[in-house]
Amino acid sequence: MTPPPGRITRREFVTTAAALAAGGCRPRRFRPDDFARPAESPVALIAAPHYGVDLADLITRGLRTLDVDLTGARVLLKPNLVEFEPESVINTHPAVIGATAVACRRLGAREVVVAEGPGHRRDLEYLLASTRTLPVLRDERLPFVDLNHDDVAAVPLRTWYTDLGTLALPQTVLDADVIVSLPKLKTHHWAGLTCAMKNLFGVVPGAVYGWPKNVLHFKGIGESILDIVATVRPHLAIVDGIIGMEGDGPILGTPRPAGVLIMGRDVVAVDATAARVMALRPEGIGYLREAARFLGHLDAARIPMRGERLERFVTPFRVLPAFEGLRA
């Protein structure tokens, strides 16, 4: 993909929201009444030292600490499947996908579907097979929907960080009762961090917008993340932080074990916690800081931890030089 065109560099991107906030004449980006937030957003941190442990049990227990009840729900799991490199950790591990499906069923889900629309690889048959996701889908009898090629409907955006106004979104996403963002814990060479919010880029259909989904870069990565998350409104996030990626993510970085699953109902709080696990300051990431104005909580005081203590998992992730300022 290209960097966002012209007007914005990576460093500028990180500070965009702060600069916008400092200006006195910012245009209205959202209607506050449309976004009710609870006073607190609990996040569960569950230790998972490797992928061979009983992940379904861990995820079920984590979701129970958050009082998640999926009775009768049609649940859509949105993992992060991007690219395949044999020794790399680019994608949500298939064991986490399968275990989350099992956990959702245990919590009452009527139907669980896995859905993704990769922004790089168009050949999903190859991607699902090479990442060994296909056997998990078969074993767990999980239907898979290619969001790049799903039916679409034009949906008015609920916020106005971009000037897109509407976005064609996959019908499967629109029909889901519960959307679970299931990202990999990674650094990102344009956005600093890619986690539960950025993962939602994958719901934007490639057959409409192309590969890469370049319109989102032109409209601003941070701005697009905000519009998409505000419109799609994921209900849950479960982050595969068992082995994350540091350095030149989201593709060319290197594996970094953190041994944790991070989960919560508030994707902003989950991403903020993910950043803290990586020893990064979430307040330094423009789109997170902006999202904390209306979508969720960034302030650690409003994110009570369930399960384990955050300090147990803090693992300084290496970042590119442009993001050294994010270090906690």
Interface residues toward other proteins, by CB under 8 A: 1-3, 5-6, 10, 85, 120-126, 129-130, 144, 146, 149-152, 154, 168, 189, 207-212, 214-215, 217-218, 248, 251-252, 320
**Residue 198 Cβ vs other proteins, minimum distance, rounded to whole Å:** 17
Cα distance between residue 108 and residue 130, in whole Å: 31
Cβ nearer to other proteins, comparing 7 with 28: 7
**Residue 252 Cβ vs other proteins, minimum distance, rounded to whole Å:** 5
CB under 8 Å to 46, separation ≥6 — which residues? 58, 59, 61, 62, 260, 261, 263, 307, 308
Q: Are 205 and 228 in contact (CB under 8 A)?
A: no
Question: Strand pairing partners for 263?
Answer: 44, 238
Task: Say which DSSP state 28 is in.
Answer: P
Cβ nearer to other proteins, comparing 61 with 149: 149
Compute the chain's Rg from CA coordinates.
Answer: 18
Cα distance between residue 305 and residue 199, in whole Å: 23
**Residue 190 Cβ vs other proteins, minimum distance, rounded to whole Å:** 8
Q: Which two tokens stand for residue 3?
A: 């960097």
Question: Strand pairing partners for 213?
Answer: none
Cβ nearer to other proteins, comparing 215 with 300: 215
Any idea which residue has 């996908």 for tokens? 97
**Residue 269 Cβ vs other proteins, minimum distance, rounded to whole Å:** 31
**Residue 297 Cβ vs other proteins, minimum distance, rounded to whole Å:** 32
Cβ nearer to other proteins, comparing 29 with 149: 149
Any idea which residue has 């990064």 for tokens? 280
Cβ nearer to other proteins, comparing 76 with 269: 76
**Residue 188 Cβ vs other proteins, minimum distance, rounded to whole Å:** 12
- Triad 304, 308, 312: Cα angle to 5°: 110
Omega before residue 212 within 30° of 0, cis:
yes
Cα distance between residue 43 and residue 307, in whole Å: 8
Cβ nearer to other proteins, comparing 6 with 24: 6
Cβ nearer to other proteins, comparing 10 with 256: 10
Q: Are 222 and 16 in contact (CB under 8 A)?
A: yes
**Residue 146 Cβ vs other proteins, minimum distance, rounded to whole Å:** 6
Cβ nearer to other proteins, comparing 310 with 320: 320
Residue 27, Cβ density class (10 Å: 0-12 exposed, 13-18 middle, ≥19 buried) = exposed
Q: Are 243 and 257 in contact (CB under 8 A)?
A: yes
Cα distance between residue 166 and residue 157, in whole Å: 5
**Residue 213 Cβ vs other proteins, minimum distance, rounded to whole Å:** 9
